[in-house]
Amino acid sequence: MIDRNVYEEVSQAPIGVFDSGVGGLTVAREIMRQMPKERIIYFGDTARVPYGTKSKETVTRFSKQIARFLQSHQVKTIVVACNTASAYAIEDLEAELDIPVIGVVKPGARMAADVTRNGKIGVIATEGTIGSGLYSKYIKSLREDATIYGKACPLFVPLVEEGLWEDPVTVEIARRYLTELIDLDIDTLILGCTHYPLIRSTIGSIMGEGVTLVNPAYETAVALKKLLAEKNLLNEVTPPLGSNPYQFYVSDGAEKFKQFANSIIKYGILSAKTINIEEY
């Protein structure tokens, strides 16, 4: 446990980011790019990944454990980088925590509502995220006349994790998933799972140039910066050299995580530690 007074100011405390596994690193990467002075504590629940096929109750219980772990590291805010956890658990987390919480669903929904011209928006995500209907609810609250078409794409995560990013098999599976969205004449598509931006070019080439792809990871970093600024929580002090501003924790397989993570984040992941999340 870290000492309560380790940071001079709350604004210097780290941002907590969590995901079911490695996918949330695409969100962490955007935060690093857009807010280079911020410290980050990342947690990937690699012992219990994936979340996308699991129930609301279970994903919420897991998310609360992780929030307790992150709070034990004095985070000033928590970013729920996992779409499924954002869809299922964000309201429970907001009710329980006394620090700001931000998920990836709302920022992604807002951008989609902004950029669509014909009001027809597709969402591709896990079974859980689609089933929750949360993207649809948020977009509707911003743009009443929008029509939202959700499509669960359960094979994308294993295909991405196998590294088949531009493989004919991935193209074939993507074509099957996406054809109905093309037929429905959508002009905007939300990549509603943190793994999907990694096969953005495959998805983009199938959807064609007329369809705008929205990446919630990027939009979340933008929204987070705004939120921290409003609450005077932006860190103005560059962490001292050698202080290791980025810390990574997982519930299983730290070494394997480190390898995958280093292929996504080029800032250098010094180390990753395994903890028993069930104890939180």
167 touches 202 (CB < 8 A): no
In this structure, the chain runs to a length of: 280
Q: Is 172 in the site for a second copy (CB under 8 A)?
A: yes
Helix, strand or coil, per DSSP, at residue 274: strand
Helix, strand, coil % in the chain, rounded to nearest 5: 45, 15, 35
Q: Is 206 in the site for a second copy (CB under 8 A)?
A: no
Residue of 28, 40, 49, 82 with catalytic role: 82
Q: Which is nearer to a second copy, 61 or 231 (CB)?
A: 61
Element (DSSP H or E) covering residue 252: none
Q: Which listed residue (169, 229, 237, 270) binds a second copy by CB under 8 A?
A: 169
Q: How far apart are CA 25 and CA 198, in angstroms?
A: 11
Please confirm, yes or no, whether 82 is among the known catalytic residues. yes
- Helix locations, 72-199, DSSP H: 83-96, 105-115, 127-132, 134-142, 156-161, 168-183
Q: Which residues partner with 122 through β-bridges?
A: 149, 189
Instruction: Quote the least distance from Cβ 17 to a second copy, whole Å.
Output: 22
Q: How far apart are CA 37 and CA 111, in angstroms?
A: 25
Residue of 93, 139, 193, 261 with catalytic role: 193
How many residues bind to a second copy according to rule CB under 8 A?
A: 25
Instruction: Quote the least distance from Cβ 127 to a second copy, whole Å.
Output: 10
Q: Is 159 in the site for a second copy (CB under 8 A)?
A: yes
Q: Which one-letter amino acid corresponds to residue 247?
A: Q
Q: Which listed residue (92, 97, 161, 204) binds a second copy by CB under 8 A?
A: 161
**Phi, psi for residue 192 in degrees, rounded to 5:** -85, 30
Please confirm, yes or no, whether 153 is among the known catalytic residues. no
Scanning 86-94, 138-146, 164-172, 214-222 for contacts with a second copy by CB under 8 A, the matching segment is: 164-172
Q: Is 154 in the site for a second copy (CB under 8 A)?
A: yes
Q: Which listed residue (34, 35, 48, 245) binds a second copy by CB under 8 A?
A: 48
Q: Is 251 in the site for a second copy (CB under 8 A)?
A: yes
Q: Which is nearer to a second copy, 55 or 259 (CB)?
A: 55
Q: How far apart are CA 66 and CA 48, in angstroms?
A: 12
* Residues of the shown chain interacting with a second copy in the complex, contacts defined by CB under 8 A: 46-48, 53-55, 57-58, 61, 154-155, 157-159, 161-162, 168-169, 172-173, 251-253, 276, 278
Active-site residue set? 82, 193
